[in-house]
């Protein structure tokens, strides 16, 4: 269980997000094994920006996204315990749902140090 990464387009192979970095990502989330889209930044034509590795997103993203390099397009196959678990995210995501996210890592911002 956890997160499996299926690379579709390789990134630069060098620049990877670290814990606490802010990433800019395009994503399409589907219920695993279906084409049922539950959320998509591409549909909104606006990439999603979030800190990574510090609990602001599901564990599958916190652990999967840092394995991608800048420019990479991949599918993150996230098990229920690394997604929304037994509670799900009603009414959009049922309990114990595995999720697939097609993600593209567009940018990485390091936190500013004083």
Active-site positions read: 27, 38-39, 58, 84, 101
Burial of 83 (0-12, 13-18, 19+ CB in 10 A): buried
CB 1 within 8 A of CB 81: yes
Q: Is the dihedral of CA 19, 9, 76, 56 positive or negative?
A: positive
């Amino acid at each position: 269980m956890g997160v499996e990464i299926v690379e579709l387009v390789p990134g630069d192979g060098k620049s990877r997000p670290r814990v606490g970095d802010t990433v800019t990502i395009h994503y399409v989330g589907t219920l695993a094994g279906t084409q049922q889209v539950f959320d998509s930044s591409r549909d909104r034509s606006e990439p999603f920006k979030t800190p990574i590795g510090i609990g602001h997103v599901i564990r599958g993203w916190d652990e999967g996204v840092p394995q991608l390099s800048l420019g990479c397009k991949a599918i993150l196959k996230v098990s229920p315990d690394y997604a929304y678990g037994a509670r799900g995210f009603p009414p959009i995501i049922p309990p114990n749902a595995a999720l697939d996210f097609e993600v593209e890592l567009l940018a990485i911002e390091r936190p500013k140090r004083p």
